[in-house]
Structure 1
């Protein structure tokens, strides 16, 4: 389970700026330390650099968790998972959140604003933060994934 004082870094492309701001306000009010890295300009924003920024901050320990918000979330989850040490999960349902945190120990949550509405997103973030990693055989699989990252050239 995540501490009420988790350090969370949030970003979003042009589809996610508004939700990033709302999540920042809600999570900060609940005691989390939140850094909102979403660009505030009105133009189109490419998501890969945003995903890399969040991923590196989580992987190097600057933040405990990351939340990335895009349109579908599909590209974002792919980009986030290119960063060594990141296990990003796409949050489109309670089941997906339960598996990404409980089984896969996801350290980055990806939300698609074209897939779920704002209230569902807030509910899924709460569920994601409250879901503990199960460990046991799942920890073995996480170690295998980390080994895959070490093996790639």
Structure 2
């Protein structure tokens, strides 16, 4: 499994710890930045990770900012991305099982490192169930298509 990582300056240290944690488990992690704690804008890194996942270069992405909210909103602007912000493991697992999420976000100011590891573990362990959930995921994809048409009409 290959996971793309990104953060802002607030999430930088936790990102490094989570990447090391997953690397110990044999999971390939690629850091899309930032590479220091210097102040940055999270949408830049959300876009890089979301594009990498959407293009199929990575199976999943993990994003970390102060709360996880802003970075997940930015990632969800990319068609094909279903990013979820989670502060506990149960929602992370169900987001995979029911929504086939492909990007996980959480906040370094909201969860501690051990809880973050549990959230990541549950998210990665979750298996998409399809079936009745696929109908809903398809409807989300249809909304994206409507947005593409609306944008094209205004160009």
User: Would you say same fold, with TM above 0.5?
Assistant: yes
Does 2:103 correspond to 1:108? yes
Q: Quote the RMSD (CA, aligned, Å).
A: 1.0
What secondary structure is seen at the aligned counterpart in 2 of 1:45?
coil
Partner of 2:66: 71
Aligned counterpart for 1:10 among listed residues 2, 5, 16:
5
Does the 8 A contact of 1:12 with 1:70 survive in 2? yes
Higher helix share: 2
Structure 1 segments of 4+ aligned residues over 2 angstroms from their partners: none
Does 2:146 correspond to 1:146? no
- 102-111 or 33-42, larger mean C-alpha shift: 33-42
Q: Distance in 2 between matches of 1:121 and 1:42?
A: 19
Partner of 2:32: 37
Q: Distance in 1 between matches of 2:114 and 2:23?
A: 17
1:8-50 Cα offsets, whole Å, 9 max, x none, are: 0111111111111111111112111110122123321100010
Does the 8 A contact of 1:20 with 1:38 survive in 2? no
Does 2:42 correspond to 1:47? yes
Q: Distance in 1 between matches of 2:11 and 2:33?
A: 8
The TM-score, its normalising length taken from structure 2, stands at 0.92
Q: Distance in 2 between matches of 1:74 and 1:20?
A: 16
Aligned counterpart for 1:60 among listed residues 55, 72, 85:
55
Does the 8 A contact of 1:90 with 1:110 survive in 2? yes
Aligned counterpart for 1:91 among listed residues 86, 93, 106:
86
TM-superposed CA distance for 1:83, in Å, is 0.4
Query: Which segments of 5 or more consecutive residues in structure 2 lack a partner in the other structure?
Result: none
The TM-score, its normalising length taken from structure 1, stands at 0.93
